[in-house]
Structure 1
């Protein structure tokens, strides 16, 4: 059923392949996690949204969705616009994204975590925004305050390897990359995926902090060895509860006040009269 009133929420979690199999966060047994509303669908200027869930953890309200709002029949650009328009209307100020990624850096193995501090946009979805009335400065695009909390929390709940900085290369998909494409990126990025852009732009446009937790689920073609679809499936199903637990505890640990420069890096456009609202 389409809802007309968008609930308020300070946080958003953009669910990717890491939590997809766990019905996040419904299957957690944590006493401070409460599902407040489910199957929320909204009309937006960019079309009807995917389903969202509203829940709380430690009395903090959070909106979440599955797989970045991507679904059949809707372009990924429109799915992103729908999602971030809703986040803006809900008053979301902090966004955590998660997902499974492939390797570019030959030092990385499957089941390594990486919390990137930069990105490289190789997509063709570069002109994906809302009204476009802001100049977006993409310095420190991945919020340092949320990144710090993600790193500290991941170290508490994960005993494997955690890489605390690196570059995420964004490609369009939906296919995986060719060996030549991975070779071209080697030395320029560490992981590859299909979701950080345009999300990082849209987060800055709505004045929200954004950071991501990424789990290596396959080797980029030609990096080390051919990867197995069965191994990929095992990672998705076995490790989803852990990834959800890390994100929930990161939100618990974040102070109420933002101590970053993210909002100040959104500037008023100099193109007055072009993007003014009517």
Structure 2
């Protein structure tokens, strides 16, 4: 069955897609402005796919300033049906160590002030109360989990993703609260991205890479050194999963 064109949204640690043979750069103007960067339309692993650098070329756009509405709108305009979002996160649960990857099953949104819906009351805008019980498309999640198994890439688990405002990292007390809320990992870009995809009818799932222990979980070491050390091993696992999932 044709699943439709797949897009990968890359974040910290994956601002470009090694192996993607770019055939065209799509500069798409949307009613919400320009996306973070040109959509890179090409072929990878023998399959057509599109890549979007969430933080822009050069990784300069902070999480709270990303034009999420333009990003998802542009992907839909390019014919995308499924979106795999790559997210670098901090591990809260003891099972999610730096360098591990996971496929989140749920999320809690702690962000504020972001343009989080297309139903904004503007001229001609329709009001949609989208169903969001499962924020990630179950079929696409299963596909990523199966791809990890087929590529012998270990998945640490599933879990709940907390989405915070950023760009600063969290305090020990904030992480303690997130853990009490049931969160297993924390990132800054998962919302409103997931909800906007749902509003546009796009299947959306996340591959989360633990790049550090969240504040207070495993002491107070040099967090930036920890990120630098673990991010490449985690992204290598992401690429292995994508290689199996896309064809």
CA distance in 1, matches of 2:5, 2:31: 22
Contact map agreement 1:171 1:192 (CA 8 A) in 2: yes
CA distance in 1, matches of 2:179, 2:38: 37
Q: Does 121-130 or 143-152 show the bigger shift?
A: 121-130
Structure 1 96/47 Cα, relative in aligned 2: closer, same or farther at 3 Å? Answer: same
Match of residue 39 from structure 2: 52
State the shift of 1:157 in Å.
3.2
Structure 1 142/125 Cα, relative in aligned 2: closer, same or farther at 3 Å? Answer: farther
CA distance in 1, matches of 2:131, 2:114: 14
Tell me, yes or no, if structure 1 residue 234 matches structure 2 residue 229.
Answer: yes
Pick aligned residue for 2:164 from 166, 171, 174 = 171
Contact map agreement 2:148 2:155 (CA 8 A) in 1: no
Unaligned runs of 5+ in 2: 121-125
State the shift of 1:174 in Å.
0.3
2:27 aligned counterpart, secondary structure: strand
Unaligned runs of 5+ in 1: 1-8, 253-278
Match of residue 81 from structure 2: 93
Match of residue 264 from structure 1: none
Contact map agreement 1:13 1:63 (CA 8 A) in 2: yes
Q: How does 1:123-272 map to 2 (within 5 A)?
A: 123-125=111-113, 127-131=115-119, 133=126, 134-163=128-157, 165-187=158-180, 188-228=182-222, 229-252=224-247
Structure 1 77/204 Cα, relative in aligned 2: closer, same or farther at 3 Å? Answer: farther
CA distance in 2, matches of 1:171, 1:160: 27
CA distance in 1, matches of 2:227, 2:151: 21
Give the alignment's Cα RMSD to 1 decimal.
2.5
State the shift of 1:238 in Å.
4.4
Q: Does 61-70 or 218-227 show the bigger shift?
A: 61-70
Match of residue 123 from structure 2: none
Pick aligned residue for 1:119 from 107, 113, 119 = 107
CA distance in 2, matches of 1:185, 1:37: 42
Normalising by the residue count of structure 2, what TM-score does the alignment of the two structures yield?
A: 0.84
State the shift of 1:76 in Å.
3.9
Report how many aligned residue pairs link the two structures. Answer: 234
